[in-house]
Amino acid sequence: MAIGWNYAGFVLLVVFLLEAADFCDGGVTSSFIRTANISADMPLDSDVFQVPPGYNAPQQVHITQGDYEGNAVLVSWVTPDEPGSNAVLYWAENGKTKSHAEGIVITYKYFNYTSGFIHHCTIKNLTFDTKYYYEVGIGNTTRQFWFVTPPRSGLDVPYTFGLIGDLGQTYDSNRTLTHYELSPIKGLTMLFVGDLSYADDYPFHDNVRWDTWGRFIERSAGYQPWIWTAGNHEIDIDPDIGETKSFKPYKNRYHVPFKASASTSPLWYSIKRASTYIIVLSSYSAYAKSTPQYKWLLHELPKVNRTETPWLIVLMHCPLYNSYIHHYMEGETMRVVFEAWFVEYKVDVVFAGHVHAYERSERISNIAYNIVNGNCTPIPNESAPVYITVGDGGNLEGLATSMTEPQPSYSAYREASFGHGILDIKNRTHAYFGWNRNEDTYAVEADSVWLRNRYWTSSEESYVASS
């Protein structure tokens, strides 16, 4: 018995030393080089922006989770000419009864642009793990879509998420979305980490580009929930044209169930979905001590029941760890405020965008510093999350290709390519993450990693698994 335990200890020591050596040397910088870094926006007459036929036909249809628990869906769409009906007709795949829900309709103005009629309707009390069909519109312009509700939350409930950020509406954006749609591992819900339409890159923040983007993503977002995170391109402030209210187009077009998690703002909120607890934070709202976002997260993290939702995921736009020169250390103040909480509550993964490239970190933290000890270097920490940047959706601003050198020890893999991610949760202890670059065939992963749940896995087991 003593010999067995000594051997096991020796193995763990060797693995730990190897891990430490790898950590000190830094990770992998991909040698893959794209042929072009800049992609132009698709023209307004592109087929992906096509307006549905018929007078006042609903367009820009998209859904997101409509409550905290996961058995409600919030359906949104736009009618261009008049309000029309604000109701949704829906029924279960094998059901005999059709039901309807009533929503609201709103409009907004931005400089010289007036929006169409934006509808938001929440369908409540749905059955878990069930396919539903739904219709919006009236008469000859009725349009039909479908969605599948998630399984009820539980310890070993498998579920698969897609990950996209900084998408825009270029030819590369279209390749990213097509790649996601054709992936052999099918995402059931999209976790979107901010920067949607890039309308603010046009003169006067041309809100027509919000309309084209809504029609562009409808082929996915009309059929599976997209969980929204706001990025810097959603701020949309321009005092020179009299627009001083932040997030105006985003807040009017993309509603989320923030009140269900006791949030005071749609820019930060939480939901449960299958075996996952998802916390969405706002990189561009105040988060220092005593601010509303700070106080909300302070009370939110202790609420997470890891025996019900074992996986704890955080979404934000600006990454806390980033080894690219572009946006380098922009997330540092939020890291200082929140990182210790992420470690304390054993957050499994933090997904971000903003940097137009891909990067995955080691499990590290930088929380030991005080004004006396000077300890201000990231170190391995098995209670810390993995930080993954997927700001590589394909927008018109192009890729972030310049990197800090040498590659820092906290960076496990980085590559300046467009692509998307897939998070495939298997059970309470294991999840698989893969990143696909657009240039490869649909089944090829450029980077992948098995994730061990922080709450349900001890550090010793984690070391053995990583060997």
In whole angstroms, give the CA distance from residue 34 to residue 265: 40
CA angle 78, 83, 89 (to 5 degrees): 70
User: Is residue 231 within 8 Å of residue 353, measured between CB atoms?
Assistant: yes
In whole angstroms, give the CA distance from residue 309 to residue 154: 6
Take residue 255 and report the two structure tokens written for it.
């509603």
Closest to 252 measured CA to CA, from 127, 374, 396, 110: 110
In whole angstroms, give the CA distance from residue 169 to residue 23: 37
In whole angstroms, give the CA distance from residue 352 to residue 283: 10
Please enumerate in sequence order all residues whose Cβ is within 8 A of that of 170, keeping only pairs 6 or more positions apart, or say none: 39, 40, 41, 42, 394, 395, 396
Annotated active-site residue 327? The verdict is: yes
Largest Cα separation within the chain, whole Å, is 80
User: Is residue 196 within 8 Å of residue 169, measured between CB atoms?
Assistant: no
In whole angstroms, give the CA distance from residue 89 to residue 68: 22
Cα atoms in the 13 Å half-sphere on the side-chain side of 244:
3
Mapped onto helix, strand or coil, the DSSP state of residue 15 is: helix
User: Is residue 315 within 8 Å of residue 422, measured between CB atoms?
Assistant: no
Mapped onto helix, strand or coil, the DSSP state of residue 123 is: strand
Choosing from 179, 327, 354, 356, which is the catalytic residue? 327
Active site residues: 327
